[in-house]
Chain A
Amino acid sequence: MTRWIEACAVDDVEREDVVAVVDGDRVYAVYRSEDDEFFATAGHCTHGRAPLCEGLVMDGVIECPRHNGRFDFRTGRALGAPVLVDLATYPVVVRDGRVHVDVDG
């Protein structure tokens, strides 16, 4: 099953950065990598529930703003303490300058 949402415009996200996208009561994090690819994950850290949109994006990694927990935002993989549980990831397509996320993907 798929449910695509129009998350944001391409220009809403700077390179090597992240923005929060709210859909109903759920929050997602949409990333733009250094080489201009887009990715989407759950919006909060799996450890302390901090909002990832306030974190640091660098070298394919999102770092949580509260405890420095690190995830590979392309795969959602948790990269070690204090984060042990992977992030949920979601398929992304870019069409006509808009970023779409399959939030049921």
Chain B
Amino acid sequence: MSPPRRRRLALYRLTGPAGPFAVAAGLAEGDWYRSPVPRTRLKELMRRSDGPALRDTALWVGLAVAAAAGGVALWGSWGALPCLLVYGVLYGSASDSRWHEMGHGTAFRTRWLDEAVYQVASFCMMREPTVWRWQHARHHSDTLVVGRDAEIVAMRPARLARILLNLVGLVDVPLALRLLVVHASGRLTAEERTFVPAEEARKVVRTSRIWLAIYLAVIGAAVASGSWIPVVLVGGPRLYGASLFVVYALTQHAGLGENVLDHRLNTRTVLMNPVHRFLYLNMNYHTEHHMFPLVPYHRLPALHEEVKGDLPAPYPSMWAAYRELVPAVLRQLRDPSHFVERALPPTAAPYHGPVEGLLPDRLMTEPVPA
């Protein structure tokens, strides 16, 4: 990797100089644009209910249990493969959106149901629930703000090998296991300490020790039984079932604007079929979600209808989104200042705040902590 490329990637660290620049420039906890929605209508859209999430959770768990049972029953034959593929996708990909929606606490009306599913989905995704709750709050405060947002998947330049390896969890999983040990030993990383309050650290340590015990028990069960089945059912799907979640996640922000204060510039809404929308819990309406995180996932299509005149046209399919984002990300390998700026419909308000949001050149020479 060339020094300027390495240097630019280092700016994405939360402990580097781009964070203080963002704070000084008013990009941290910034004044984000929200499309106008009458308060009465917004209250209807924000209203909670348990029904849709109970249905979708029952379907998710029921299908996963059935697929796992099929995989175990047919173990040793080719018939196990499709069962385990389905199980893997439900565990290693669909858990991402469950982690997301339940983390916001909007999916159910009943709080403990949100929290229970959040804990399960966090475990499946190997995301420590307290750290990731705070990290995701930061992602909403400072979406794609360089040096502030730890959830930027495609940096400029993108780490393509990392993204491709993560299609089967080969970067995320070793990293998560290393962090599990770090957390279980009572520590948080320097970056995590920038967004997790000190009083929350105890929860991180406790959860990580429980998870570590579970994973050790799974490995112990595999060794004792002389079978891979325990690992294939617990932990393993985060590898072999992860690809769909990576495919979905890239559509959210890759190739769009950094250091802006208008989610229409840095977030995509992509129309998807009902199967994808079940697996992804309507996270494809991502611009709407970022503007109005209080609206539960099952009302995002209605919110989309409400605000679509103020947003760039949605992408009609994942294929359409990838036709745009792949060339943009590849071009950013050579030109990190490149990004896609979508046209707004005539009915929309103009873009709010900086549109280009480029980092000053001086950040490329200031020291970055190791």
- Listed in ascending order, the chain A residues whose CB lies under 8 Å from chain B are 17, 47-49, 55-56, 58, 63, 65-68, 70, 81-82, 84
Whether a CB of chain A sits under 8 angstroms from the CB of B48 is yes
Smallest CB–CB gap between A53 and chain B, Å? 9
Asked if B286 is an interface residue, CB under 8 A from chain A, the answer is no
Residue of B nearest to A16 (CB): B43
Q: Are B106 and A68 in contact (CB under 8 A)?
A: yes
Assess the B197–A67 pair: CB atoms within 8 A: no
Q: How far is the CA of A72 from the CA of B120 in the complex (A)?
A: 26
B105 touches A48 (CB 8 A): no
Residues of A within 8 A of B47 (CB): 56, 58
Asked whether any CB of chain A lies closer than 8 Å to the CB of B284, the reply is no
Partner of A70 from the list B105, B197, B292 (CB cut-off 8 Å) is B105
B98-116 contacts to A (CB < 8 Å): 104-106, 109
Q: A48-B137, A67-B140, A68-B293 are in contact. Are A81 and B130 (CB under 8 A)?
A: yes
B48 touches which of A17, A49, A58, A65 (Cβ 8 Å): A58
- Is there an interface contact between B133 and A84, defined as CB atoms closer than 8 Å? no
Closest 6 CB pairs of A and B: A82-B137, A67-B137, A56-B46, A68-B104, A56-B294, A68-B105
**B199: Cβ under 8 A from any A Cβ:** yes
Are B48 and A82 within 8 A (Cβ)?
no
12 interchain pairs (CB within 8 A)? Answer: A47-B137, A56-B46, A56-B47, A56-B48, A66-B140, A68-B105, A68-B293, A68-B294, A81-B130, A81-B133, A81-B200, A84-B199
Which chain A residues lie closer than 8 Å to B199 at the CB level?
84
Q: B248 — which chain A residues lie within 8 A by C-beta? A: none
Cβ–Cβ < 8 Å partners of B140 in chain A = 66-67
Which residue from chain B places its CB closest to the CB of A55 in the assembled complex? Answer: B294
Assembled-state Cα–Cα distance A68/B43 (Å): 15
Roughly how many angstroms separate A44 CA and B200 CA in the complex, as a whole number?
Answer: 22
**Number of B residues whose C-beta is below 8 Å from A?**
21
Inter-subunit contact B134/A81 (CB<8 Å): yes
User: Which B residues are closer than 8 A to A by beta carbons?
Assistant: 29, 43, 46-48, 104-106, 109, 130, 133-134, 137, 140-141, 197, 199-200, 292-294
Q: Which of A48, A58, A68 has the most chain B CB atoms inside 10 A of its CB?
A: A68
A44 to chain B, nearest CB (A): 11
**A42: min CB distance to chain B, Å:** 17
Q: Which residues of B contact A82 (CB under 8 A)?
A: 133-134, 137
A66–B293 CB distance below 8 A: yes
A56 and B105 CA atoms in complex are apart in Å by: 12
- Cα-based distance from A47 to B196 in the complex (angstroms): 12
Q: How far is B105's CA from A55's CA once the two chains are assembled, in angstroms?
A: 14
B32 nearest CB neighbor, chain A only: A66
Q: What separation, in Å, do the CA atoms of A82 and B109 have in the docked complex? A: 18
Contact indicator B43/A56 (Cβ below 8 Å): yes
Task: Tell me the bound Cα distance from A17 to B134 in angstroms.
Answer: 27
Q: Given the known inter-chain contacts A82-B134, A84-B197, please indicate yes or no for A17 contacting B43, CB distance below 8 A.
A: yes
Question: How many angstroms from the CA of A63 to the CA of B109 in the assembled complex?
Answer: 12
Whether A67 and B293, one on each chain, are in contact in the complex, defined by CB atoms closer than 8 angstroms, is yes
- Residues in A with CB closer than 8 Å to B294 are 55-56, 63, 65, 68
Q: Which residues of A contact B46 (CB under 8 A)?
A: 56
User: Which A residues lie within 8 Å of B293 (CB)?
Assistant: 65-68
Chain B residue with minimal CB distance to A82?
Answer: B137
B43 adjacent to A48 (CB under 8 Å)? no
Q: Which residue of B lies closest to A83 (CB)?
A: B137
The chain B residue with its CB closest to the CB of A85 is B197
> When chains A and B are docked, how far (Å) is the Cα of A70 from the Cα of B133?
14
Roughly how many angstroms separate A67 CA and B293 CA in the complex, as a whole number?
A: 7
Distance of B268 from chain A, by nearest CB (Å): 21
Nearest CB of B to A78, in Å: 12
CA distance A75 to B104 in the complex (A): 23
